[in-house]
């Protein structure tokens, strides 16, 4: 596995990769969710590339950029074990030189849900992913369904800007008790860890009543809110029952929906989602 930092070294190493090339973009502190992306890429592509970069532009001023967990040696060992061929670990100065001034704003699909609560977040994500698409020129790029809106934003951007890349969305990987894997789970301590299963419990409860015939969007939102509010350590930021493609909030009877939520457990902000019905 080749590990490079500079753009020149990356371009040189990329030129030597056999296609199709699969890209796994990450912010490091890897877990089974990231590895599932690398494993899928390994199975579908002749070469697999990855990036590790905690992207400052997708963090708000009061968010956890400085405390975001990092462990580069462990990450590199995991990627090597997963059969990755090339890893880019740039510095912030390489990605955002002092005179950087070009940003990508995806509009409607980035406005709701996470976009409404994290202003500027998807501008940072879209710009970073566009840069990764430009420098790696991947045939396929792999992202997790856990970040459902991110997946929708990246799909939209790739389509709108004609990036010749297939955006592949892989299922959320969960701990045995249902907690969605996330690098931010490392922030959970003591009784916060079992409390964090409340997100999956709320989604599963809504999915069960949907399976039993409930179709009213507001009833499903209400139910998820009640489950979250029953957990003393949880503070609900939003629960949503939205169209899985447009991400517009749904009212009245639904056929298919993206259930999603953001919940604080202590100071840790967690998100999770589930799709109901066929899309």
Nearer to ligand PAF, 53 or 200 (CB): 53
User: Would you count residue 129 as binding ligand PAF (CB under 6 A)?
Assistant: yes
| Rounded least distance, CB 125 to ligand PAF, Å | 5
Structure tokens, 106: 């995806």
Q: Judged by CB under 6 A, does residue 270 bind ligand PAF? A: no
Q: At its nearest, how many Å lie between ligand PAF and the CB of residue 74?
A: 16
φ/ψ (deg, to 5) at 230:
-80, -10
- 26 near ligand PAF (CB under 6 A): yes
Task: Give 58 or 172: the residue with its C-beta nearer to ligand PAF.
Answer: 58
Cβ at position 210, least distance to ligand PAF in Å: 28
Number of residues interacting with ligand PAF: please give it, by CB under 6 A: 10
156 in helix, strand or coil?
Answer: helix
User: Between 150 and 197, whose beta carbon lies closer to ligand PAF?
Assistant: 150
- The Cα 204–Cα 44 span in angstroms is 31
Element (H, E) at 51: strand 47-52
Give the residue with the Cβ less far from ligand PAF, 167 or 220: 167
Q: In the block, which residue shows the tokens 């940003």?
A: 103
To the nearest whole angstrom, how small is the minimum distance from the Cβ of residue 55 to ligand PAF? 4
Question: Is there binding between residue 125 and ligand PAF (CB under 6 A)?
Answer: yes
DSSP-assigned beta bridge partners for residue 125: none
Decide if 117 is catalytic: no
Tokens of 112: 């709701």
204 touches 178 (CB < 8 A): yes
Q: Decide: helix, strand or coil at residue 203.
A: helix
* Residue of 10, 21, 22, 25 that binds ligand PAF (CB under 6 A): 25
**Residue (25 or 90) nearer to ligand PAF, CB:** 25
Candidates 47, 55, 137, 260: give the one binding ligand PAF (CB under 6 A): 55
Q: Kindly state the smallest distance separating residue 127's Cβ from ligand PAF, in Å.
A: 9
34, 121, 189, 248: the catalytic one is 34
CB 72 within 8 A of CB 88: no
**243/254 Cα distance (integer angstroms):** 9
Q: Closest separation between CB of residue 58 and ligand PAF, Å?
A: 6
Indicate the SS3 state at residue 81.
helix
Contact between 147 and ligand PAF per CB under 6 A: yes
CB-based contact 163:130 (threshold 8 Å): yes
Task: Establish if 273 lies at the interface with ligand PAF (CB under 6 A).
Answer: no
86 binds ligand PAF (CB under 6 A): no
Extended beta strands in 65-201, E state: 86-88, 140-144, 166-170
166-170 and 21-26 beta bridge pairing: unpaired
Q: Is 128 in the site for ligand PAF (CB under 6 A)?
A: yes
End-to-end CA distance of the chain: 37
Instruction: Give me the residues paired with residue 272 across strands.
Output: 261
Residue 148 within binding range of ligand PAF, rule CB under 6 A? no
Catalytic residue IDs? 34
Q: Give the interface with ligand PAF as residue ranges (CB under 6 A).
A: 25-27, 55, 58, 125, 128-129, 147, 150
């Amino acid at each position: 596995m080749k590990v490079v930092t500079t753009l020149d070294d990356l371009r040189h190493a990329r030129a030597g990769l056999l296609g199709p090339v699969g890209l796994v973009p990450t912010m490091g502190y890897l877990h089974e969710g990231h590895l599932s992306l690398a494993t899928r890429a390994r199975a579908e592509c002749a070469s697999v590339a990855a990036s590790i970069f905690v992207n400052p532009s997708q963090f708000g001023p009061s968010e956890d950029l400085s405390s975001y967990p990092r462990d580069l040696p462990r990450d590199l060992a995991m990627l090597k074990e997963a059969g990755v061929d090339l890893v880019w670990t740039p510095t912030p100065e390489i990605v955002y030189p002092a005179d950087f001034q070009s940003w990508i704003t995806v509009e409607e699909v980035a406005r709701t849900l996470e976009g409404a609560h994290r202003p500027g977040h998807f501008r940072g994500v879209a710009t970073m992913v566009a840069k990764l698409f430009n420098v790696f020129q991947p045939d396929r790029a792999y992202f997790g369904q856990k970040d459902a809106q991110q997946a929708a934003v990246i799909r939209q951007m790739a389509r709108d800007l004609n990036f010749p890349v297939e955006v592949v969305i892989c299922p959320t990987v969960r701990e045995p008790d249902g907690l969605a894997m996330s690098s931010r789970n490392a922030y959970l301590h003591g009784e916060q860890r079992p409390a964090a299963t409340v997100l999956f419990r709320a989604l599963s409860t809504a999915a069960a009543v949907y399976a039993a015939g409930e179709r009213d969007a507001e009833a499903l939102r209400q139910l998820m809110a009640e489950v979250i509010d029953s957990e003393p350590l949880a503070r609900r930021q939003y629960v949503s029952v939205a169209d899985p493609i447009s991400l517009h909030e749904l009212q009245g009877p639904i056929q298919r929906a993206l259930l999603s939520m953001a919940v604080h457990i202590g100071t840790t902000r967690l998100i999770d989602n589930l799709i109901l019905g066929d899309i």
